[in-house]
Amino acid sequence: MSVPIAKISTETARAKINLTLHIGRVIGDPSDPYYGYHPLDSLVVFADVGDRLRSEVSDVTSLHIDGPFGAGLEADERNLILKAYKAVALKADIPPLKFTLTKVLPVASGIGGGSADAAAALRILMRHAELSADEWQVIALSLGADVPVCVMSSTAHMSGIGGDLHGLTGLGSLQAVLVNPGVAVSTGAVFKAFDTGHPAWGEVRETPRPQLSRGDLLARAKDGRNDLQPPATAQQPLIQTVLEALSRQEGCALSRMSGSGATCFGLFSNAEMAKAAANAIAENHPDWWVVPTVLGEG
């Protein structure tokens, strides 16, 4: 059975938000394939804001980037979209594709923009190549720990180093505001600081603390935390300023950092309160990226 080929494809690369992120002790066994990585346990939701990726069957594979955050990103072979293409091309016969990425999400900001772009590219490539579910999973994880969950792009419990996924349905949605203060944070550096900074951040468990397995999204979020927030804030104190700006807003039920930062989210009782909070923060900080959004739908 051959895969039906669409000449033009489009995908949205939605922002990934770690409502909770529990981290365990670094994998210290050099014979382990995930040596140097950390076991994690996370409740992941997706926002209704994201990058847009378009592809068109062409004579040669290329990438063009535009959009508000396009200038901060090179369109060369280091880009995760071209890495995804290359990884699939090693396994299957795929046509050259001309990709256009509209970069809406800030780069290196804890909301998986690069991972979501790679995942969007994989979803497009799935229309051009027939590989087994296991092969797609191996390719996704080889591109980044967040890529498999971004391929799913729906509410999930994530464990292992990021590749063990369990989809969660019926948990509804949350009104939220995302805020990034315009400072890039290196994921690897924050994990390193997490390792070396103890006991300042508390004791590191060998396996990460499990998630609450009942209740709605807000109850589950409130039960957990982001273990990377203290080491990231120590590296980038502006994160604390963002968290305070969010928690000061009327109706803010919870404020927390996502991923390795620096983007933080605030959860609000309703859409009006989220919009009012976003307007107030944007007015005080015109240089910050501030977006009211819905988390967990679709």
Ligand X SMILES: Nc1ncnc2c1ncn2[C@@H]1O[C@H](COP(=O)(O)OP(=O)(O)OP(=O)(O)O)[C@@H](O)[C@H]1O
Picked from ligand CDM, ligand X, none, the partner binding residue 205 (CB below 5 to 8 A depending on kind) is none
State yes or no: is 29 an active-site residue.
no
Tell me whether residue 80 or residue 158 sits nearer to ligand X (CB atom): 80
Helix/strand/coil for 138: helix
Give the residue from 180, 110, 178, 122 showing the smallest Cα distance to 147: 122
Residue 272: CB minimum distance to ligand X, A = 29
Tell me whether residue 38 or residue 157 sits nearer to ligand CDM (CB atom): 38
Distances (CA, A) of 124 to 81, 87, 114, 129: 11, 13, 15, 9
Picked from ligand X, ligand CDM, none, the partner binding residue 84 (CB below 5 to 8 A depending on kind) is none
Instruction: Find the residue with minimal CB distance to ligand CDM.
Output: 144
Q: H-helix or E-strand containing 4? A: none
For position 111 contacting ligand X by CB under 6 A, the verdict is yes
Give the residue from 208, 210, 247 showing the smallest Cα distance to 228: 208
Could you list the residues that contact ligand CDM (CB under 6 A)? 18, 21, 37-38, 40, 42, 112, 115, 144-146, 161-162, 187-188, 191, 259-260
For position 113 contacting ligand X by CB under 6 A, the verdict is yes
Distances (CA, A) of 99 to 14, 41, 117, 215, 243: 17, 33, 11, 41, 36
For position 114 contacting ligand X by CB under 6 A, the verdict is yes
d(CA 265, CA 288): 13
H helix intervals, 146-212: 147-152, 187-196
The residue type at 150: C
For position 158 contacting ligand X by CB under 6 A, the verdict is no
Residue 214: CB minimum distance to ligand CDM, A = 22
State yes or no: is 66 an active-site residue.
no
Active-site residues: which are they? Answer: 16, 146
Q: Which residues bind ligand X (CB under 6 A)?
A: 73, 78-81, 107-115, 117, 146, 187, 259-260
